[in-house]
Structure formats: C-alpha cells, structure tokens
Structure 1
Amino acid sequence: MAVLAGIAAFGGMFAVLVGAYGLRQARRVSATGVRVQALVKRRPGETCEESVPPRPLLQFVTEDDRVMEVVCPVPSTRRRPVNDGDNVLVSYDPADPRNVVVQGRERLGPERVFIAGGALVVLLSVTLLAAAIAGR
C-alpha cells in the first residue's frame, strides 16, 4: 500500500509541476514577449466539412524579419472563432518564436486543472500512507 501511495504521490507532484510550468510560461510570454499581429491561415489540405476543425496556422514576422508559421495554441470556438484571414494579436518569445500566446485567449484552465488534480492526488496519497502507517 505504501509503495502505491508513493507512486501516486510522485505522479501527483509531477502533474503539479507540469501545470505550474505551463502557467508560468504562458504568463511570462504574455508579459515579456514581443507583441505582433499574426495572420490566421488554414492548413494546407484542410476542408471546412470536418466535424472537429484542426487548429489553424498563425503567420507573423519576428523582430529579426523571419516569417514564422506556428499552430494556433487555442482552438476556435463558436463564441470566439479564429477564421482564415483574421488578424490576431500574439506575443512570442524572442528566444523561441514558436512559443506563442494569443492575447486575450490564454486558456490557463488546463494548467490550473493539472495543478488542482495533482495536488488532490498528492493529498490522497499522503492520507493513504498515513492510514497505512497508523494501521500497523
């Protein structure tokens, strides 16, 4: 029982760290990244009839005049669609321009879910470990 609780606690801590890292990266790029307008482009070979449309490409020019095309980090929704030909404001990391955040659509929920879920698993593991030790 103690081994399983330890493995679960390790997995939970890993989830917490992954969520915290993703949250930190998104906030860092949003706050200190270079802001540019990006053109939304449909991926080559993509059709409009697909039930779940793939994420479009974002094309922008970096400060050193490189043209970058990256997959949009957020999906298109009915409330806030990302349509072919639209312009969106993005922040990119100058050290790695492939790391982008679409301004106003950061979607920090998945990172928060990782943190909360990992913390819950760690708490459950510690509780199980304490119960196993007390039961001896």
Structure 2
Amino acid sequence: MAVMAAFTVVGGLVALLAGAYGLQRTRSLTEAGELTEALVKAVRQGADRPALQFETADGRVMEVVSPVPASRRRPLRAGERVPIAYDADDPREVVLLGRERRGLDWTFVGAGAGLVVAGLALALTA
C-alpha cells in the first residue's frame, strides 16, 4: 500500500509541475514575448496541426508547428493570419494569442493536486 501511495504522489507531482510550467510559460510569452502575425500553412499529410510561418524581429523567417490542434472549435485555416507571441531567444516557442491552452494546463494542476492528496491519504491510512 505504501508503494502505491508513493507512486500516486509522484505521478501527481509530475502532473502538477507540468501544468504549472505550462501556465508559467504561457504567461511569460504572452507578457514579455515578441508580438507578430503568423501565416497559417496547410496541414501536411499525416499531421494533425498546421504550420505557422512568421518573421522574427531580426528578420529570420520561421516555420513552426502550431501549438493549437486543427480540431478546435475555431480551426485554423490555411492562408489565415493569426496573432502570436514568441520567445526572442528561441522563436520556436510560440503562443497563439486568444487561443492559449490555459484550460489544459489548469486541468493538469488540478488533477496533479488531487493525486497528491489521494496519495497522501493512502499513505496515512496504511
């Protein structure tokens, strides 16, 4: 029982930290990232997300996979221009403004916290 409790707590901590990191990274890019517009490219065969092409402040043309899946309520359409924020130090890190995945990150935080509490409860009852 103690081993199961330990695995539950560790799994919960991993999920909690993953969600917290995602929230922090989204906030950081949204507040301090470089703002620009990206061109949505067509979804390549076998891929589930379109590519985004944009020019960085220093003139480099970047093409990255969209952090937003194509099957969302408002799908990205090829040829559309979307606002993004990117990390100037690593332009591959991109957030689509208005389509951040904060809900998913909060789900990881909540589920992780729940697993930590459940694991601790298991440990205390063992």
TM-score interval (norm. to shorter): over 0.9
- Give unmatched runs, 5+ long, in structure 1: none
Number of equivalenced pairs:
126
Percent identity, please: 47
SS in 2 for 1:65: coil
In structure 2, the residue matched to 1:129 is 123
Under a length normalisation based on structure 2, what TM-score does the superposition of the two structures give?
0.93
CA distance in 2, matches of 1:104, 1:33: 14
In structure 1, the residue matched to 2:76 is 82
Tell me the C-alpha RMSD between the 2 structures: 1.6
Q: Is 1:21 matched with 2:15?
A: no
Equivalent runs, 1:34-113 vs 2, <5 Å:
34-44=34-44, 46=45, 54-77=48-71, 79-113=73-107
In structure 2, the residue matched to 1:2 is 2
In structure 1, the residue matched to 2:11 is 11
In structure 1, the residue matched to 2:110 is 116
The runs of 4+ residues in structure 1 deviating greater than 4 Å are: none
Q: CA offsets per residue over residues 31-50 of structure 1, 9 Å max, x none? A: 11000010011144x3xxx8
Give the letter for the 2:66 counterpart.
C
Shift of 1:71: 0.6
Shift of 1:3: 1.8
CA distance in 2, matches of 1:11, 1:32: 31
SS in 1 for 2:30: helix
Q: From the superposition, tell whether residues 29 and 85 of structure 1 become closer, same or farther in structure 2 (CA, over 3 Å).
A: same
Give the letter for the 1:66 counterpart.
R
Give the letter for the 2:21 counterpart.
Y
Return the index of the structure with the highest Cα Rg.
1
Q: From the superposition, tell whether residues 78 and 131 of structure 1 become closer, same or farther in structure 2 (CA, over 3 Å).
A: closer
Shift of 1:130: 0.8
Shift of 1:80: 1.5
Q: CA offsets per residue over residues 61-92 of structure 1, 9 Å max, x none? A: 00111100001111234642211000000000
CA distance in 1, matches of 2:73, 2:103: 17
Shift of 1:14: 1.1
Under a length normalisation based on structure 1, what TM-score does the superposition of the two structures give?
0.86
